[in-house]
Amino acid sequence: MMKRFAAGTVLLAMLAVWPGTAVFGGETVVFENVDEIAVNEGPTLTVGYVKIGAESDWRMACNKSLADTFTIDNGYFLLTSDAQQKQDRQVKAVREFISQEVDYILLDPITESGWAASLEEAREAGIPVIVFDREVDVDDPEAYTAWLGSDFYTEGARASAWLEAYLEESGYEGEVGIVHIQGTTDSSAQIGRTRGLDEALEKHPQWELLGRADADFTTAKGKEVMVEMLEEFGGRINVVYCENDNEAYGAIEAIEEAGFSAGTDLEKGDILVLSFDAANNGLMLTMEKKIAVNTECAPCYGPLLTQMIMALERGEELPKRQYVYEQQFSALGKPDSVTVSGRTWPVAPVSEELISARPY
Ligand code: AHR
């Protein structure tokens, strides 16, 4: 059932539920209580999770977070559907969960488009839909209850700002040939990270985009695309901008098999690999400097989603949009911070201790 409550209680409710939030540029950012599970003490709630698939380390960590959190012991019965990266299967899953009369739908949408009809059906059925990680592009702001996820544009802008600062600090003045391995076309992660790079390309005439292609966030396709790019552009490639760690794993394999090296000395002919996610293996490669900078994408949504559901159960209204706080990692030491849209973000060093303390 849709829960509504008086506007005057919104702020109080947000403070009660989300003490660890701050507002940046008009958007709420969650940076505390991200591990705290809100246990449901009432009757068990049935939650339908519309999954994307198992395309990346990040996705496996995300799926695990929800499976570990939405347990019977915590008061939830989790139903899942795996779309194997196909948006039409996700739409079908939403409809199935509606016919099963679940209490909540958690939707991680593959693409931004194609959601108006099924979300309207969920609303008519009175089932709250929490969209998370990626976003949906719909005209009706009431099509879903709330969204929680990454600021993909800022991730892309931070990675590009890091490259700009790194080139400046290392005194590299030559042309910069860039190859761009994109994530799934029309996914929020692809749209935002691509926009971040495109804005930087416009700002830097000496940066040349040699080629770009969709690798669907997978290692296999990342390698395939990189093999093709190396065949076409070879030694003109200075930088590979991979839109996630799995694509970076594939790209590094292709680089090494072709006799090039993934590293940080552009004068020597190294290819600088930029990546996103900061999954365990991605950070290991960052520590080895095969990935020059890794911009985090936080996957452990389970606990925050329980907090959102329990807030709705109490009749509270949630902020419509919330971002999770994300870090950036490099083993190079410099630059140690980047500034994007007037906000300065630290670039954290990577160590074995840091990697082993992280859950993914
Ligand atoms: O939506 C999050 C993105 O999707 C992650 O960067 C990626 O690894 C995943 O597959």
Contact status, residue 214 vs residue 185, Cβ threshold 8 Å: yes
Pocket test for ligand 1, best of 244, 245, 300 (most atoms within 8 A of CB): 244
The domains located in the chain, with CATH, are 7-150+298-326 (3.40.50.2300), 153-297+329-357 (3.40.50.2300)
Contact status, residue 312 vs residue 145, Cβ threshold 8 Å: yes
- Cα 324 from Cα 151, distance rounded (Å): 8
CA of 57 to the centre of ligand 1 (A): 8
User: Confidence band (pLDDT; 50, 70, 90) for 19?
Assistant: low
CA of 149 to the centre of ligand 1 (A): 11
Specify the pLDDT at position 25: 64
Q: Is the pLDDT of residue 5 over 80?
A: no
- Cα 39 from Cα 304, distance rounded (Å): 11
Specify the pLDDT at position 226: 98
SS3 98: helix
Specify the pLDDT at position 18: 54
Question: How confident is the model over 301-321, as pLDDT tens digits?
Answer: 999 999 999 999 999 989 999
Taking residues 264-275, report their average pLDDT: 96
CA of 244 to the centre of ligand 1 (A): 6
CA of 150 to the centre of ligand 1 (A): 10
Question: How confident is the model over 181-228, as pLDDT tens digits?
Answer: 999 999 999 999 999 999 999 999 999 999 999 999 999 999 999 999
pTM strictly above 0.85: yes
Tally of CB atoms within 10 A around 27: 14
The set of protein residues with a Cβ atom below 6 angstroms from ligand 1 is: 55-56, 58-59, 133-134, 189, 217, 244, 276-277, 297
User: Which tokens sit at 61?
Assistant: 């960590």
Tally of CB atoms within 10 A around 353: 8
Tally of CB atoms within 10 A around 93: 22
Contact status, residue 209 vs residue 201, Cβ threshold 8 Å: yes
